[in-house]
A = this chain, B = another copy of it.
Amino acid sequence: MSGDDCLTGIRVLDLTQFEAGPSCTEALAWLGAEVVKVENPAGGDPGRAINPPPGADAHYFLQYNANKKSITLDLKSENGLALLQRLAARADVFIENFAPGAIERLGLGPAAIRAINPAIIYAQVKGFGTGSPFERNLAFDMIAQACGGTMSITGEPEGPPLKPGPTLGDTGTGMLLAISILAALYRRTRTGAGEHLEVAMQDAMFQYIRGALATQTRTGAPPRRAGAGSVLARNPPMGIYPCKGGGPNDYVYVYTSRANPEHWRRLLAVIGREDLLDDSRYATSAARAEHESEVNEMVAAWTRAHDKHEAMRIIGAAGIPAGAVLDTAELLHDPTFAARGIVQTIDHPTIGAYRMPAWPVRFSGRPPPVRPAPLLGEHTEAVLADWLGLAAAAND
C-alpha cells in the first residue's frame, strides 16, 4: 500500500503559515488526510512570497505545502468567520500557528472551536509555552534554537555558539505535533474524545539535544561544543576531513567507534599506515585522544589525495563508517534518490517541473506520491461544496 491511504477521511482545517505548522500538516497530507489550508484572500500564506519567481509561488512554499488544498476566506468579515465556524464543525483537526493571542482575537480559540465541535483535535504551535515568562514573545526558528539549547551545542570547541543549518525550530517542532495529533486521533477511534494540543518551539528543541542533556546530567555541567565530534566523548579519528577538489563541500566524515577497535585498525590499512598497528601511542581510543592532532593529520593526508565520493567508497568498503558531505545539488539530482521515490518530480501549473523530496518513510517499498502545493484559493468552491453543500455563489 502506498501510505497515502492511511488517513483517508480525516479532514484538517489548517490555519498555519511559514514552516512549523505547514510541515506538520504536510506530513498529514502526505499520509492521506484532506488538509485544507485556509488563507486570506490578500496573498495568503506569507511563505508564498519568500523569494518567489515572477508571478508564481515561492519554492519555499512549495516545499511545505504539497498535497494540500487551499481555500480563501476573509476571517475578519462576518461571512468568512461564519464559514470558518461551519467548516470547523465538519473537521477532525484544527491547527494554527499565529502570533500569540491572534487566534483568540479572531474568536477562533480552543474554547470557541471546541464548543462548536467537541470531538475536534485542536492543535497550536507557540514560540514559548503558556506559562513561560516569554509566552507573549514573537518566535522564529532561530529564536527557538537559541532558547532551546541547540545553538549551545553547535560550533567549534573554542568558538562561539552557532546555528544548526536545519530548521529544527520549525520542522522539528512540526513533527512532534504531527505525532501528537495522530495519537489523539487514534484515541478518538476508541473514546470519541477531542483534545487540545499545544507545543512550544522552545520546548520542542529538548527532544533533539538529549545526548547533551545526558552529558549535562552525568557531569553536572553543560558539555563543551564538540565541533564535528560528539558531546558524548572525544574519540579521534572522528570528524570532517578535507578531500581533493577543495570546494566548499569537498569533505568526508570518518568515524572510528570506541566500541569496535577494528575500525581504527582497518583505517590504518586503508591509509597505508600498517606500520602503526602496534604503536601504543594510537592503540586505544584514549591514547588517540592524547594525540588527536597527529591522528587527524594522518587521516587528512590520505583524504586530501581522494575525492569525497572515492573516499567514502574506499573507507566504507573497508568496514569503517564514512560519509561524503553531500550538498543540496548532489542530493536533489542523484538518480538513486529518484529511482527510490525519495526525490520526486512535480509538475506544477505555473512553475513547471521541479524536484522535491517526498515523505521519506517507505510504505511497502515506496514513499507516498507527492502532488503540487495548491494555488491560492484553488479549492475554495470545491471544499465549500463538499464540506458544507454550498453552491458556488455562496462564498461571494
Number of copies: 2
In this assembly, does A133 line the interface, its C-beta being within 8 Å of a C-beta of chain B?
Answer: yes
Given contacts A10-B186, A138-B316, 17 further A-B contacts (CB under 8 A): A1-B195, A6-B187, A23-B210, A46-B259, A60-B232, A130-B340, A137-B316, A142-B253, A149-B327, A154-B166, A160-B240, A160-B242, A161-B249, A172-B208, A175-B175, A189-B189, A207-B359
Known: A183-B31, A207-B357, A321-B138. Is A168-B168 also a contact (CB below 8 A)?
yes
Which of B195, B257, B336 interacts with A133 by CB under 8 Å? B336
- In the complex, A336 Cα to B202 Cα: how many Å? 12
- Contacts of A190-249 to chain B: CB distance below 8 A: 190, 193, 195-200, 203-218, 221-233, 238, 240, 242, 248-249
| CB proximity of A212 to chain B, nearest CB, Å | 5
Among the stretches A82-90, A277-285, A361-369, A387-395, the one at the interface with B is A361-369
In this assembly, does A109 line the interface, its C-beta being within 8 Å of a C-beta of chain B?
Answer: no
Contacts of A270 in B (CB 8 A): none
When C-beta atoms are compared, the residue in chain B nearest to A329 turns out to be B222
| CB proximity of A178 to chain B, nearest CB, Å | 5
Does A324 lie within 8 Å of B164, measured CB to CB? no
Does A137 lie within 8 Å of B6, measured CB to CB? no
Does A166 lie within 8 Å of B168, measured CB to CB? yes
Does B8 lie within 8 Å of A217, measured CB to CB? no
Q: Identify 21 residue pairs between A and B in the complex whose beta-carbon atoms are under 8 Å apart, listed by A's number.
A: A50-B214, A58-B218, A131-B336, A142-B230, A143-B253, A151-B165, A151-B240, A152-B165, A155-B165, A164-B164, A167-B211, A177-B361, A178-B179, A180-B359, A197-B361, A198-B365, A199-B362, A200-B342, A203-B360, A217-B356, A222-B248
Contacts of A331 in B (CB 8 A): 148-149, 206, 213
Contacts of A134 in B (CB 8 A): 312, 316
10 closest residue pairs by CB, A with B: A153-B165, A164-B164, A146-B323, A6-B183, A182-B182, A206-B357, A146-B253, A166-B208, A222-B327, A154-B165
Contacts of A259 in B (CB 8 A): 46
Which of B185, B186, B197, B355 interacts with A362 by CB under 8 Å? B197
In this assembly, does A96 line the interface, its C-beta being within 8 Å of a C-beta of chain B?
Answer: no
Contacts of A206 in B (CB 8 A): 331, 342-343, 357, 360
Does A153 lie within 8 Å of B137, measured CB to CB? no
Does A363 lie within 8 Å of B182, measured CB to CB? no
In this assembly, does A20 line the interface, its C-beta being within 8 Å of a C-beta of chain B?
Answer: no
In this assembly, does A14 line the interface, its C-beta being within 8 Å of a C-beta of chain B?
Answer: no
Which of B7, B160, B217 interacts with A251 by CB under 8 Å? B160
Contacts of A289 in B (CB 8 A): none
Contacts of A46 in B (CB 8 A): 259
- In the complex, A64 Cα to B365 Cα: how many Å? 28
**Which range contains the number of A residues in contact with the other chain?**
35 or more
Does A321 lie within 8 Å of B148, measured CB to CB? no
Known: A154-B154, A167-B211, A176-B175. Is A336-B132 also a contact (CB below 8 A)?
yes
Of A183, A330, A355, chain B has the most CB atoms within 10 Å of the CB of A183
| CB proximity of A19 to chain B, nearest CB, Å | 7
Contacts of A228 in B (CB 8 A): 142, 162-163
Known: A148-B326, A323-B144. Is A354-B217 also a contact (CB below 8 A)?
yes
Chain A positions 253 through 287: 1 when the CB is less than 8 Å from some CB of chain B, otherwise 0: 10101010000000000000000000000000000
Does A364 lie within 8 Å of B138, measured CB to CB? no
- In the complex, A226 Cα to B162 Cα: how many Å? 10
